[in-house]
C-alpha cells in the first residue's frame, strides 16, 4: 500500500498564478488544494488540515500576514508549516514574514525548481522536528512509567511486608512459649488476625486487578443481606481506625437485600468506606446511608474530611493514582480501591461517582435492580 501523498494548500488571489502553481506542485507528486483569498484559505485549512500552506502575502484582507496570525490562534492549525510567496523583496518584509511564524519566504519571480526544493526542505525539517518531539515524549513517558513501576513495587513491598511481619512475629512468640499470660496471648493472636485480614485484602485486590485486565470479573448476582454479609466486614474495617475516634453512623434498612456478586461487592464497599475512614480527620464523622427508588438501591458514603477537588474527581478512579503522587501523598495504600469499586459495580450495571460536596467527600454508588436478562443465582 503506497503512502498517501502530502497535501499542500496554495492560496493566491491571482487565478492564473494559482492554477499554474497548483499544476507544478501536483506534477511533483503532492496533493494540492487551492484557495482564492485569505478567508477561503482559512476555511480550507480547517477542513483539510494540509501538511503545508503556500500563501501569497498581498491579498484582500485577511492578507497573508493576517492569515498567519489567525492560524496561530488555533492550536490545531498553528503547527502547519507556512511559506510566504510574495513580490516584496525588502529585508524588512522578510523579517516581518518570519516573525509571523513563517517557515520560509519566497520572492517572486521564482524558479519552479527552487520553490519545489524549498517546499520539500520545509516538509523534511518539520517531519524531523516532529519525530524528535515524538521520540522525546516517548522517552519521557517511558521514564515516567519506569518511575511509577518502581514506586508501585516499593509500595507493594511495604504493603505486603508490614502485615506479614505483624503476623509472623506474634505467632512466633506464642510458638516459642514466650507469652504465657492467656490475656496477652489473645491480644497477640488478635493482632495477627487483624494483619492477616490486611494481607487477605491486598491479595484480593491483586486478584481483582488481574480479573479486570482479563475482562473476567464475576458478574453473577446473588441475594445479599446487608446485616449478614456486610455489617461484620464493615465493623472489622472500622476497628482498624479506632485510634482516630471517628463518629461512624449507618442508616440502612434493617433487612436491606440486593442481588450482587457477593464477595466482590463487599470488597468494593469496604474500599469505599476505608477511604472515608482513612482520609478523614481525627474525631471526624462518616455517614453511610441508602435510598430505594423503583427497585434501585443508591448508597451514599459521606465524610467531613479534606474532600477531593473537582478537577480530581475522575482522576482518582485511575489505577495507582495515589501512588503516582509520590512523596506528596499523606496516606499509604496501593491506589486501587476506587478503580476496583467502579469496575465491580459496572459488572451488574451499577455506578460509582464522587458528588459535589460543600465539605468532605460524598460517594454515590448505585445498585440497579436485577433485570430479566441478568444472571442471578440463589
Helix/strand/coil (H, E, C) string of the chain? CCCCCCEEEEECCCHHHHHHHHHHHHHCCCEEEEECCHHHHHHHHHHHCCCEEEEECCCCCCCHHHHHHHHHCCCCCCCCCEEEEECCCCHHHHHHHHHCCCCEEEECCCCHHHHHHHHHHHHHHHHHHHHHHHHHHHHHHHHHHHHHHHHHHHHHHHHHHHHHHHHHHHHHHHHCCCCCCHHHHHHHHHHHHHHHHHHHHHHHHHHHHHHHHCCCCCCCEEEEEHHHHHHHHHHHHHHCCHHHCCEEEEECCCCCEEEECHHHHHHHHHHHHHHHHHCCCCCCEEEEEEEEECCEEEEEEEECCCCCCHHHCCHHHCCCHHHHCHHHCCCCCCCCHHHHHHHHHHCCCCEEEEECCCCCEEEEEEECCCCCCCCECC
| Average pLDDT estimate for 176-201 | 83
pLDDT of residue 327: 46
What percent of the chain has a predicted confidence (pLDDT) above 70?
87
What domains does the chain contain, in order, with CATH numbers?
Answer: 7-110 (3.40.50.2300), 147-213 (1.10.287.130), 222-367 (3.30.565.10)
pTM for this predicted structure: 0.57
Q: What is the pLDDT of residue 284?
A: 94
Range scoring the smallest mean pLDDT among 114-118, 173-177, 322-326: 322-326
Mean local confidence (pLDDT), 259-276: 93
- Please write the tens of the pLDDT for every residue from 62-119: 988 889 889 989 988 988 999 888 765 544 555 554 555 567 778 777 788 888 988 9
Amino acid at each position: 500500500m503506497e503512502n498517501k501523498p502530502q497535501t499542500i494548500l496554495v492560496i493566491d488571489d491571482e487565478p492564473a498564478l494559482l492554477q499554474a502553481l497548483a499544476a507544478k506542485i501536483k506534477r511533483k507528486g503532492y496533493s494540492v488544494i487551492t484557495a482564492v483569498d485569505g478567508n477561503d484559505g482559512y476555511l480550507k485549512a480547517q477542513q483539510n488540515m494540509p501538511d503545508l500552506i503556500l500563501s501569497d502575502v498581498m491579498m484582500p484582507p485577511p492578507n497573508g500576514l493576517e492569515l498567519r496570525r489567525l492560524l496561530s490562534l488555533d492550536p490545531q492549525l498553528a503547527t502547519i508549516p507556512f511559506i510566504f510567496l510574495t513580490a516584496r523583496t525588502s529585508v524588512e518584509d522578510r523579517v516581518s514574514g518570519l516573525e509571523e511564524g513563517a517557515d520560509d519566504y519566497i520572492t517572486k519571480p521564482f524558479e519552479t525548481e527552487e520553490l519545489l526544493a524549498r517546499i520539500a526542505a520545509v516538509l523534511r525539517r518539520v517531519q524531523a522536528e516532529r519525530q524528535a518531539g515524538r521520540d522525546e515524549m516517548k522517552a519521557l513517558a517511558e521514564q515516567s512509567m519506569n518511575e511509577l513501576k518502581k514506586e508501585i513495587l516499593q509500595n507493594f513491598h511495604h504493603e505486603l511486608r508490614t502485615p506479614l511481619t505483624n503476623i509472623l512475629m506474634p505467632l512466633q512468640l506464642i510458638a516459642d512459649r514466650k507469652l504465657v499470660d492467656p490475656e496477652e496471648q489473645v491480644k497477640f493472636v488478635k493482632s495477627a488476625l487483624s494483619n492477616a485480614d490486611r494481607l487477605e485484602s491486598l491479595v484480593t485486590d491483586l486478584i481483582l486487578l488481574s480479573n479486570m485486565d482479563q475482562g473476567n470479573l464475576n458478574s453473577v448476582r446473588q441475594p445479599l443481606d446487608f446485616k449478614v454479609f456486610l455489617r461484620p466486614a464493615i465493623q472489622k474495617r472500622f476497628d482498624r481506625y479506632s485510634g482516630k475516634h471517628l463518629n461512624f453512623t449507618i442508616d440502612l434498612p434493617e433487612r436491606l437485600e440486593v442481588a450482587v456478586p457477593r464477595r466482590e461487592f463487599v470488597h468494593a464497599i469496604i474500599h469505599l468506606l476505608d477511604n472515608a475512614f482513612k482520609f478523614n480527620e481525627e474525631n471526624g464523622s462518616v455517614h453511610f446511608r441508602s435510598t430505594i427508588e423503583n427497585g434501585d438501591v443508591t448508597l451514599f458514603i459521606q465524610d467531613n474530611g479534606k474532600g477531593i477537588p473537582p478537577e480530581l474527581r475522575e482522576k482518582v478512579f485511575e489505577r495507582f493514582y495515589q501512588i503516582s503522587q509520590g512523596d506528596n501523598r499523606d496516606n499509604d495504600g496501593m491506589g486501587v480501591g476506587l478503580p476496583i469499586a467502579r469496575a465491580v459495580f459496572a459488572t451488574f450495571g451499577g455506578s460509582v461517582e464522587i458528588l459535589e460536596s460543600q465539605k468532605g467527600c460524598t460517594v454515590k454508588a448505585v445498585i440497579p435492580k436485577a433485570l430479566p436478562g441478568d444472571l442471578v443465582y440463589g
